[in-house]
Amino acid sequence: MSSNEHTPEHAAHRWFAKSLDDLGHAERHLLDRLMQRKLVTENINEVFRDDMSFGERLADKVSRFGGSWTFIIVFALILLAWTGVNSWVLHKPFDPYPYIFLNLMLSMLAAVQAPVIMMSQNRQAAKDRMDATNDYKVNLKAEIEIMGLHEKLDQMRNDQLQLMLMKQQEQIDLLLKLVRERGD
């Protein structure tokens, strides 16, 4: 085996049928990891969590709470209390029917909550893309490893065939020698 067979360029041609310059980022990263015999998988949850800012973590917590049954129940209780207090308890309500101040507060809550939820969804989409890229790398590595195993099995089979042919040739030569010796 020549030293050229262990270069990244040779590996790129062998496994991807492309030159090293034509490989994409994921393939180049995989090739580097394969050449170093290192793992290609990453714990995307840890990588993603470590890169989040305080604002992103806060937005995710707000979004998680805003999409829970706890939020719905608490919100319903606040609405019931608000309307009950302003309709039946107070003689001079601070927000009488049709609850204009309550509508203002609900509009402001929706105006703040919608972008927070969108930020959280955008981060989840980014995480999904990272996860898909990681899955692609793992699948590609598995495919390359399987191809390598096939090559090794083929080489072993060829070596065994060569050995068997050599042994048969030796037996034929021995038989011919015996036949010649008897014929003399």
Contact between 56 and 43 (Cβ < 8 Å): no
Q: What is the mean pLDDT of the chain?
A: 88
Backbone angles phi, psi at 138, to 5 degrees: -65, -45
pLDDT at 184 over 80: no
Contact between 48 and 130 (Cβ < 8 Å): yes
pLDDT at 144 over 90: no
Three state DSSP letters for 126-179: HHHHHHHHHHHHHHHHHHHHHHHHHHHHHHHHHHHHHHHHHHHHHHHHHHHHHH
Contact between 25 and 15 (Cβ < 8 Å): no
Upstream peptide bond of 8 is cis (omega within 30 degrees of 0): no
Percent residues over pLDDT 90 in the chain: 48
Q: What is the mean pLDDT of residues 24-30?
A: 82
Q: Domains of the chain: which residue ranges?
A: 1-40, 52-135, 148-184
C-alpha distances in angstroms, 65 versus 10, 153, 183?
A: 53, 56, 100
What confidence score (pLDDT) does residue 11 get?
81
Scanning 67-99, the segments in alpha helix (DSSP H) are 69-84
Length of the chain as a residue count: 184
Query: Which is more confident, 40 or 167?
Result: 167
CB atoms within 10 A of CB 43: 10
Contacts of 6 (CB under 8 A, 6+ apart): 35
What would the pLDDT profile of 82-134 be if each residue is shown by its tens digit? 999 999 999 999 999 999 999 999 999 999 999 999 999 998 999 999 899 88
Confidence of residue 17 (pLDDT cuts 50, 70, 90): confident
Q: What is the mean pLDDT of residues 29-51?
A: 80
Per the structure block, which two tokens stand in for 17? 């049928």
